[in-house]
Structure 1
Amino acid sequence: MINAFRTYNPLNILWLAVLLFVLRAGYVYSAPPTLTFTYLEPFARLLAPGTYTYVFPPAINIFLAGVIVFGQALLVNRLVNQYNLLGKPSFLPALMYIVLTGLFTPFLVLSPPLICGFLMIWMFYKLFALYKADDAKSITYDSGMIVALGSLIYFPFIYLFLAIWVSLILYRPFNWREWVIGIMGYGTIFFFLAVAYYLSNKLHIFKNIWTPLTTAFPTHVNINYYNYLVLLPVIVMLILGSISLRQVFFRSYVQVRKSFQLLFAVLLITGLSFYVKAQFSLTHFLLCVIPLAILFAYYFLYAKVRWFYESLFIILLASIIYFQFNTF
């Protein structure tokens, strides 16, 4: 299967759709009778009065989530090929994205982090363009606005503002105006939110928006470790992908090296920002999928021992399907 996606063949789009269906169809039978989807944080609902919570039958919810994942997979694939991050075009980034977004059953339904995936992709397009940009101020301003929009949908997205500064460190010589204008872009969105609070006579509680940022980082999270056995092949792929990338890292183009450093920084930022939400939720880690999908695509594109990498991928697929029907 991996070998088929190593080539840039448009027919692979059809196989991606088939795989998407296979990885999600089983959950329809064990999902709750109804699934609720809320697309805005409570503090942002003054900007969108009316209905912001939708209740769907499980089949409809999972279908809509699948359509979103399919679109995002193709956008991620286009992003990787446009900036030549893997050295040659393929459909492996899209394949890895679809597989990783099927790891856990909470990933299979509509959720704010899933919607924020579009904003993350848009942001990566902006940040990767910094390397050759003559003037970075418009890019950083737009990126600040993207982060602000994402934090209205899912508040932990606010930490991705750090990715803007990381990208400026990696891609640009220091210019304090470029660092400040990102803050201005973020503040533009929240200025309109403050106006909405003012017109509603609620400006005195506007400062409470930032209270979750003062939450202490947890020292313990109650989880059932048996439900995370599916991560074993993922961890193996992560290790092998890191080794594969390290072997050729300093022989790669400068832009590619810096782009992978940015992806690693985003992986750390998104992985560690889960604690901002009061209730632990696996859906948060959908924000980690894009950098992981690109790293795994890199490994599978250059892996040499076919029986091993094909077997590893089949084990991952089998684990995902098995754990959809078995909980411990």
Structure 2
Amino acid sequence: MIGIFRQKTPANALLLLFYALVLKFPLFLHPVVPVLHSEDNYLYRVILHGLDSAIHNIPICYSILTFLLLVSQAILLNRISNHHKVLPKPNFLPGMSYILITSLLPDWGHFSAPLLINMVMIWVWYRMMELYNSHRPGTAIFGIGVWTGIVALLYVPAVAFLLLMLSALLTMRPFRIREWFVGLLGFTFPYYFLFLILYLTGTWKWAGIIPSIKFAVPAFPATIWLTLGIVWLVIPFILGGYFVQKNLNKFLIQIRKSWSLLLLFLMVAIVIILISRVTSYENWIIMAVPLACFHASAYYFPNKTLGPEILHWLIVGYILAMNYFI
């Protein structure tokens, strides 16, 4: 399977869809209606209210929507990774890895604000990588700021992605204070509309607007299956990080910066998890984008495919056992 996805052929797009159907078919067997959490912000509540009105809280509809979002995110991530040559040769491993790791924890199959954030942040990551050679950085930086502000309106702890935007400016651009101000202006831009709507509807309350940031220890895995799922997230990440570091000198400087940006993305995602008070693992899916790229490198770089194949099928076996037999 690894050998097939290491190639970039049109047939692999169809194979990726079939691969997703096999691993994520339990979404349709056990559909779940989304639950609002205290960290869900204004924009997500509006979206969820609109969906409830349109599909009348039918669980299977949310499963279909979640499946389409996950597959779309995998395809978009794969396309961007190939476009920017995150791995030396075009392939389908980032998309495969995204489908694989988002099947490791059952909560990652729920429709949620963090799931929507992933779609936005894949695009933001793409725009951040383009800053290195951008001829109109002001427009790009303002757009990145706007989208970063939008994800904060979806999920309150996602305000921490402001740190990623500032880190991207440090990593991909020479320091220019004007560009930082443009990014901060873009970040606050969605809030202008929120303030206006709240003021006109008479629901203006400072307590509901200012994010409440409190660090908390994430919930410990309650079962051995959740523990194994986290283990399968960590092991390929460590292997992928090793291979990226080993081959770093062979990359162009822009690719090196892109990998640094992915590591910063992961660190900010961990911060978001630490400032979330959700007892489920839905918010952990924010880590899936950078983790998928590191997992893909663990499958791509070894000269012999036997090791990656064994690792891949062990993870697939765990997912099938957890979803179909437990």
TM-score scaled to structure 1, two decimals? 0.90
- Counterparts of residues 249-260 of structure 1 (less than 5 Å): 249-260=248-259
Deviations along 1:222-254, whole A, 9 cap, x unmatched? 431512212323322112111111111123110
Q: Number of aligned pairs? A: 322
Q: Which amino acid aligns with 1:95?
A: M
CA contact (8 A) 2:217 2:274 kept: no
Equivalence map 1:158-237=2 (5 Å): 158-203=159-204, 205-213=205-213, 215=214, 217-219=215-217, 221-226=219-224, 227-237=226-236
Cα pair 1:35 1:57 within 8 Å, conserved: yes
Offset at residue 293 of structure 1 (A): 0.9
User: What is the identity percentage for the equivalent residue pairs of Structure 1 and Structure 2?
Assistant: 24
State the shift of 1:221 in Å.
3.0
Q: Is the 8 A contact 1:36 1:55 kept in 2?
A: no
The separation in 1 between residues aligned to 2:5 and 2:220, in whole angstroms, is: 38
Deviates more, 1:106-115 or 1:71-80: 106-115
The match for 1:100 is 101
Contact in 2 for aligned 1:46/1:193 (Cα 8 Å): no
Contact 1:263 1:291 in 2 (8 A): yes
Range 317-326 or range 141-150, more displaced: 317-326
Q: CA-atom RMSD, angstroms?
A: 2.4
Gaps of at least 5 residues in structure 2 are: none
Q: 1:193 and 1:80, CA in 2 relative to 1: closer, same or farther beyond 3 A?
A: same
Measure the CA separation in 1 of the matches of 2:47 and 2:289.
29
2:17 matched residue in structure 1: 17
| C-alpha separation in 2, matches of 1:228 and 1:158 | 28
The structure-2 alpha-carbon separation of the partners of 1:116 and 1:50, relative to structure 1 and needing over 3 Å to count, comes to: closer
For residues 291-319 of structure 1, the C-alpha deviation after alignment (integer angstroms, 9 at most, x for no partner) is 11111112211112322210110000111
**Structure 1 stretches lacking a partner, 5+ long:** none
Correspondence list, 1:1-328, <5 A: 1-29=1-29, 31=30, 35-36=33-34, 41-44=40-43, 51=50, 53=52, 56-203=57-204, 205-213=205-213, 215=214, 217-219=215-217, 221-226=219-224, 227-325=226-324
Contact 1:47 1:193 in 2 (8 A): no
CA deviation profile, 1:203-238 (whole Å, cap 9, x unmatched): 3x134322422x1x2246343151221232332211
Q: Match of 2:162, SS?
A: helix
- Asked whether the 8 Å contact 1:113–1:154 carries over to 2, the reply is yes
In 1: Cα distance, 2:290 partner to 2:23 partner: 21
Q: Normalising by structure 2, report the TM-score.
A: 0.91
Distance 1:271 1:173, change over 3 A: same
Offset of residue 48 of structure 1: 7.2
CA deviation after TM superposition for structure 1 residue 59, in Å: 3.3
SS in 1 for 2:89: coil
